[in-house]
Structure 1
Amino acid sequence: MTDPIPAKPQPEGRGGYKAFRAIPTRWMDNDAYGHVNNVVYYSWFDTAVNAHLIEQGALDIHQGETIGLVIETQCNYFAPVEFPQVVEAGLRVAKLGSSSVRYEVGLFLQGESMTAAKGHFIHVYVDRASRRPTALPQRLRRVLEALQ
């Protein structure tokens, strides 16, 4: 028995995302083919999520007892991005567990209505010292719930 072929990923509009962050491209983001290299998109995912959490007072990267470790990531690309453009990263939470969260990020060229790329990553939150999964702190959970 064969598995059904999943539907081809499609671009999405801005309406499904709860928070946005403008991220300017940099000269060094372009690769030899004249567009932003795929590895940079994952950096934008990290920037969008962690900057939002820090700004909301839900993540203390220096002193906090709880930290998020990435266990899965994925991205689909729909349109090229190149320097000098500004990307607007849309953020939402698709699944919230007791110690984990699936973030979904849509990357839009500034002013465009559809994603140039979209993807996800999953954080498991762990105790900084033991690196064992831990329950999401209440402040973090409230910020994440607002992104659902």
Structure 2
Amino acid sequence: MSDYPHQVSVPTRWKDNDVYGHVNNAVHYSLMDTAINEWMIGKAGFAPLDAPSIALCVESHCQYKAEVSFPDTIRLGLRIGKLGTSSVRWEIGMYRASDDALIAEGHFVHVFVDRETRRPVPIAEPMRTEMSKLAVTSG
């Protein structure tokens, strides 16, 4: 978990469990997206409803390592694996809070685009400066 500069804990909900008795895979993606947007809004000052540029997900991946079930709490770690001119690769580790077991690792790639034209634009300041604090590599 120490490999991730930003961390957030999220309790699972009763409705997160599927018929097999564990948190459904779609919840993992939702939690990754939530951790990323929580960071962008809270730490980097992103205003999703009126910013001139927005982040579009162009790639996502999740590799499941262990099960997790309600009422477990999931700890999510967030870092940036690659910071480009208009794109960013977010990397997320998910851990069961009760025993620190790694339950999933994933990534999202966002491309920042102009809100109106949907054409790529450079990541704006101060977002870029804040992102660089999470970066494990730059490029």
TM bucket normalised to smaller: over 0.9
Structure 2 gap ranges (5+)? none
What does residue 36 of structure 2 align with?
49
> Percent identity over the alignment?
42
SS of the residue aligned with 2:2?
helix
Query: d(CA) in 2 for partners of 1:112 and 1:105?
Result: 18
The question of 1:132 aligning with 2:116 is answered: no
Q: 1:88 touches 1:110 (CA, 8 Å); kept in 2?
A: yes
User: Normalised by the size of structure 2, how large is the TM-score?
Assistant: 0.93
The alignment covers a number of residue pairs equal to 135
SS of corresponding position for 1:45: helix
Partner of 1:19: 6
In structure 1, C-alpha distance between the alignment counterparts of 2:28 and 2:64, rounded to whole Å: 10
Shift in Å at residue 111 of structure 1? 4.5
Give the deviation of 1:66 after TM superposition: 1.1
C-alpha separation between the residues in 1 aligned to 2:127 and 2:27?
A: 26
Q: Is the 8 A contact 2:66 2:101 kept in 1?
A: no
| Alpha-carbon distance in structure 2 between the residues aligned to 1:120 and 1:54 | 19
Rounded to whole Å, the distance in 1 between the matches of 2:53 and 2:69 is 36
- 8 Å contact from structure 2 (residues 17, 24) kept in 1: yes
- Aligned residues of 1:73 and 1:122 also touching (Cα < 8 A): yes
1:39 equivalenced with 2:26 (yes/no): yes
Q: Which runs of 5+ in 1 are unaligned?
A: 1-13
Contact 2:81 2:91 in 1 (8 A): yes
Given the two structures, how large is their TM-score scaled by the length of structure 1? 0.88
Give 2:100's aligned residue.
113
Question: Would you identify which runs of 4 or more consecutive aligned residues in structure 1 move more than 4 Å?
Answer: none
